[in-house]
Amino acid sequence: MSWTHAPVQAEDHMNKKTLVQKLVEVDSPSGKETEVAQLLTQEMNERGFETHMDEVGNAIGVIGQGDQYIFLVGHMDTVSGKIPVRVEDNTLYGRGSVDAKGCLATFIEAAAAFKDSTKLKLTVIGCIDEEDDSQGAKHLLKTHDGANVKAVIIGEPSGWSAVTLGYKGSFSVLFELVKPRTHRGADQTTPTEDAVSFYNQLCAAYPDHGAGFDQVGINLIAINSEFQNNHEAVDLHLNIRTPLDFDLDQFLEKAHSFAGPAGVQRTFFVPAVLGDKRNKLVRSFLSAIRAEDVRPVFKRKTGTSDMNLLNAWECPILAYGPGDSSLDHTPNEHLNLDDYERAIRVLTHALKQMEMNL
């Protein structure tokens, strides 16, 4: 592992915008993060961070001289689908502007102010693969036990005047069935009909399913059928979003009973998370947001993030970052640059509060 270090360079208001613009201009869908990781380490290096890329490609920068460790963990990857990058009416348009390069840029700009801190040591991490299987965060869990980490801030859009305390859990289900071909006049169901029946029975077993934080979400992602010589085949892909009290074993028992002879597989289960409101980290953010003359807001999200995994470190944790999360993954993704600047001020203030109170 090699570390590099370069002197801090003065940054003005325009350069802060340039950082997020630079990041958004680099196309980095999951699995193709190398170029943006190199840019991140370069930009952090220029601001006084000690930087490196770990074994899986996470971009890591450390700054501050103290022994109180705070991790600021964002992600470099985006969903696929390019959006022409432009700035119009002080708004940055482009894939990743909200989810979540604006958050990473906010982390870097705020953390740079703590180069000479004798109390804090801030670690900013741009993870790979958050939009797919979170291999970057999983690697952090393997390489860091979290014992010395005092707090974790996850880089996800909460809006500059809010913090996110909760995310639903998630896993995927694949239903697969192959049956001999039959005449369409025969009194037998087709594999596709069996797949639809499986989906309908599963939904009926959770009559209150929906998108709410306390509901089981059952989302039909894809259904594909084909002829295979003398057989018919179907596969059905579901994404399941889970509340805090979700019983995985019970769900799987129901799924297998509804599937009959079909195969049912599931992916890695990420449980839901809900952080505590009553700790120094949350209080620091509330104070920082109030300093901007607005009332702070708590959010619980129906998506899933790396916060679900890094909660295993059992320290105060929340998600914060500029941007409207309803724009995540959409073709109209954009970030208001005034809100970006406000988020930098809020995060800097919150970290100063942590510095005083840890």
Catalytic residues: 77, 130
Calculated CA dihedral for residues 91, 156, 239, 57, nearest 10 degrees: 100
The structure tokens listed for 256 are 């297998």
What distance in Å separates the CA atoms of residue 342 and residue 162, rounded to the nearest whole number?
12
What distance in Å separates the CA atoms of residue 259 and residue 56, rounded to the nearest whole number?
37
Burial 289-305, CB ≥16 within 10 A → b, else e: beeeeeebeebbbbbbb
Calculated CA dihedral for residues 174, 175, 176, 181, nearest 10 degrees: -150
Cβ–Cβ < 8 Å for 69, 79: no
**Orientation of helix 34-46 relative to helix 102-111, angle to 10°:** 20
Nearest CA to 339 out of 294, 284, 279 is that of: 294
* Residue 178 CA neighbour count, 13 Å, CB half: 5
Give Dmax over CA atoms of the chain in angstroms.
79
